[in-house]
Amino acid sequence: MSQSHSGTEIVSRSNSLVLPSAEKSIEMHRSLLRVRMTEETLATRYTEQEMRTPTHFGTGQEAVAVGVCSALDAGDMVYTHHRSHNHFIARGGSVYELAAELYGRIDGCSLGRGGSVHLTDRDKGFMVSSAILAETVATAVGTALAYAMDGEAKVAVCFFGEGTLDEGAFYEAINFASIRKLPVVFACENNLYATESPLSVRQAPGSDLCDRLRAFKVTSERVDGNDVAAVYDAAVRAVQQARSGGGPVFLECMTYRWREHVGPMFDHDAKRSYRDKAEFDAWVARDPVRRSATRLIEQGVATAAEVEVWAAETKAEIEATVERARQAPWPAVDTLFENA
C-alpha cells in the first residue's frame, strides 16, 4: 500500500501529551469499558438472529468516541454515521434503548423504527446517526450554524469514517463551515478501510486528509485514535477553538475496526481476505481499552484489581440490560403510521 499512513506509524502528540486528571482518566476508562462491553455483548447476541437490522460494530475504535465525547458539554450536539454505537454510548445514550432498538422493540431509542443505523437521543446531546455516507456532516454544520446565529456557546460534532471524504457532499459542508467559521468539530475515524476497500482504491498515493481540510482553511490535526488521552487532548483544543469562534476543526483519528464491516464476525472467521492477519494483530496490540487500563495502573491512578472489577461490573450490568431489552415488547402493529 502506497498510502502515507498505512499501518501503525501515526503522527501523534502522544509523547508530549499532558495527561488528563486522575478523575477524568477514570471516567474515560469506564466509558471505554461501557462502549466496549456494549458492543461485545451486542455482537455476541447478534448471532442469535434476533436482532434483525444491519449493524456495523465499532470494536477497536472506542477511544475516538470516548475521547471526543469527554471533551463536550451537555449542551453540545453529536451527529454520526452508520458505525454509531460507540458514539451513542460514549455520549451517554442508554444501553437498554440501543439494545431494544436493535431488537426492534418499542423501548428502542427510535421506537424500533430506525435500527442500528438510525439512533437518536436528543436529550443526551446525540442528535442522530444516519446510514448514508456524508449525510450528517452537513446536518452538523447546520446545527452549528443555528448555534452561531443565536450566539450560543455550543458546539456541533460529527463523527464519520474516512470513507466520507470520498463523497463530494463532504466538501460542500466543510467549505461552508469554514467560510462562516462555525462551531463544529469534524471527527474522522480513519480506520483505513471503507467496507473492504483500502485507502489505495480511494486516495491518490501520498494523500493526507488533513491537507485537504487545510486547503479549505479548516484547522486540522492527526491523532492517535487508539489513545484516549491523545484524542481527548486534541478534542479539548478543537472544541475550545470551535466554541470560541475560532472556526471548525478536523481531527483525523487513526484507528482500526476489529470486526467485519457489517456484522459481528471477525474477518478471519468470516473468511474475508481483504486485510491480513499481521495488520490486524498489530492493531489489536494497540487495543485502546487495554492501553487506557495500562496507563491508569502505571500512573497509579487505579490498581489492576480495581480496573478488573470495573470491567466485570460493566460487563454484568450490560449483559443484564441487553437481555432485558430482548424481552421488551414489540411496537403495536396499529402504530405503524405513528410519526408518518
Ligand X SMILES: Cc1ncc(C[n+]2csc(CCOP(=O)(O)OP(=O)(O)O)c2C)c(N)n1
Looking at the Cβ atoms of 172 and 317, the one nearer to a second copy is 172
SS3 of 75-111: CCEEEECCCCHHHHHHCCCCHHHHHHHHCCCCCCCCC
d(CA 223, CA 232): 10
Tell whether residue 163 is a contact of ligand X (CB under 6 A).
yes
Residue 132 or residue 201: which is nearer to a second copy going by CB?
201
Q: Which of 74, 132, 282, 316 binds ligand X (CB under 6 A)?
A: 132
CB 68 within 8 A of CB 159: yes
Instruction: Report in angstroms how near the CB of residue 304 gets to another protein at its nearest.
Output: 35
- Residue 133 within binding range of ligand X, rule CB under 6 A: yes
The stretch among 29-37, 46-54, 161-169, 296-304 that binds ligand X (CB under 6 A) is 161-169
Establish if 49 lies at the interface with another protein (CB under 8 A). Answer: yes
Smallest distance, Å, CB 90 to another protein? 18
Please, which of residues 193-212 interact with a second copy by CB under 8 A? 201-208, 211-212
- Taking CB under 8 A as the binding criterion, the range among 206-214, 268-276, 286-294, 314-322 that sits at the site for another protein is 268-276
Report in angstroms how near the CB of residue 280 gets to a second copy at its nearest: 25
Helix boundaries (H) for 260-328: 277-284, 288-298, 304-326
C-alpha cell belonging to residue 320: 443484564
Contact indicator for 199, 3 with CB cutoff of 8 Å? yes
Sole binder of ligand X in the list 147, 193, 250, 310 (CB under 6 A): 193
Contacting Mg ion (CB under 5 A), which of 191, 226, 241, 314? 191
Query: How far is Cα 78 from Cα 122, in angstroms, rounded to an integer?
Result: 9
| Closest-CA residue to 140 (of 54, 252, 250, 57) | 250
- Provide the residue count of the chain: 340
Rounded-to-integer distance, Cα 95 and Cα 317, Å: 10
- Given the complex with another protein, which of 38 and 129 has the nearer CB atom? 129
The amino acid at residue 188 is: C
Q: Which residues bind Mg ion (CB under 5 A)?
A: 161-163, 191, 194
